[in-house]
Amino acid sequence: MAIAVPVCYYEIYISYNNLEVNSYDIEDEKIKADGEGDSKASVKFVVVGDLHDNTFGDNDDNLVATIKAQNPDFIIADGDILNDDSENSDIAMSFIKRLVEIAPVYYALGNHEFEYMENKKSEELLDEIEATGAVLLEQDYKDIVVNGVEIRIGGMYGYAFDGNGKTVKKDMGDGIYDFLKDFEDTSSYKIMMSHRPDSFVFGEASKAWDIDLVVSSHDHGGQVVVPFLGGLYGGDQGYFPDYIHGLYDKDDMKLLITSGLGSNDQKLPRFNNVPEVMVCNLKCK
């Protein structure tokens, strides 16, 4: 018992104050410069999510410095950068402003952004996000060219399937079917920012939609990481979820899921779960 208490304290402490960088490589034939096959073509981006107003104590500057050191072509802020009960958006927006100084930032809304706006009975947060210089994408996309590589990047919070796990237009969330049909209609490499991996892991979503890469956060790597077993809990996926942290192949779709940078108040604190700056390297296959 005398040993267990300091060990537990240490595992909780590092889960809110330390930082690690995890890098993933994805090869795809679409990663080619100016429409021509180029084995040297590459794109690097950083994924951050689930900050939940975490300031890392005295290490706040270290977070931004760590992201800058990756020299990303762009940055994805994948939702829950603040909390639903945050007094204001100051911490979150200050963080995003600093990221914009490093590289273009694409921002996807998470459940806490939606709940924050509901609690405030105002959508001013959307204007505040855009005022940072970040590109906010919710059921919207932007076509970009990075190092000669054509990329379509979009953002969507809703589920990519209906209540039966199918993709029947009349049964899906408002506007989602039409948005996804429009989004997939391109020869560019397609990245979808989807705060919840659950939006694409259930039903026929990963088979139905022609999306190259879904980038998610939301589940905090399982919140509690159990040795030899992995993340304890993941939203709609329940206990010991299959899609929780890292790079996965699901049908013809790839899922890239970060364990995030913090946590809101939950039944259990982050444990054995170091906050993550995720780096993705897209390369020509």
Strand-pair partners of 125: none
Q: What is the mean pLDDT of residues 110-118?
A: 97
Report the alpha-carbon distance of residue 78 to residue 63 in Å, rounded: 16
According to DSSP, the β-strands at 42-48 and 20-28 are: unpaired
Q: Are 75 and 103 in contact (CB under 8 A)?
A: yes
Percent of the chain surpassing pLDDT 70 = 95
What is the mean predicted confidence (pLDDT) over 78-97? 96
Q: What is the pLDDT of residue 37?
A: 58
The predicted pLDDT at position 6 comes to 72
CB atoms closer than 10 angstroms to residue 170: 6
What's the pLDDT at 248? 97
Q: What is the pLDDT of residue 285?
A: 82
Does pLDDT of 1 surpass 70?
A: no
- Quick one: average pLDDT of 143-160? 96
Mean pLDDT rounded to a whole number for the chain: 93
Question: For the chain, what percent of residues have pLDDT higher than 90?
Answer: 84
Q: What is the CATH number of domain 4-284?
A: 3.60.21
Quick: pLDDT tens for 187-235: 999 999 999 999 999 999 999 999 999 999 999 999 999 998 999 899 8
Q: Predicted confidence band at 7 (pLDDT cuts at 50, 70, 90)?
A: confident
Spell out the residues 6+ positions from residue 238 whose beta carbon is closer than 8 angstroms to its own.
none
State the Cα–Cα distance between residues 248 and 161, nearest whole angstrom: 19
User: CA-to-CA distance for 247 and 49, rounded, in angstroms?
Assistant: 15
pLDDT digit string (tens) for 34-69? 756 566 789 999 999 999 999 986 666 899 999 999
Looking at residue 265, its pLDDT comes to 87
The answer to whether 234 and 266 are in contact (CB under 8 A) is no
Give whole-number Cα distances, 137 to 29, 39, 79, 189, 193, in Å: 26, 30, 11, 17, 8
Residues in the chain, total: 285
**Residue 27's pLDDT band (cuts 50, 70, 90):** very high
Q: Taking the domains of the chain in order of start, what are their residue ranges?
A: 4-284
> Is residue 118 pLDDT above 70, yes or no?
yes
> In angstroms, rounded to a whole number, what is the distance separating the alpha carbons of residues 5 and 250?
40
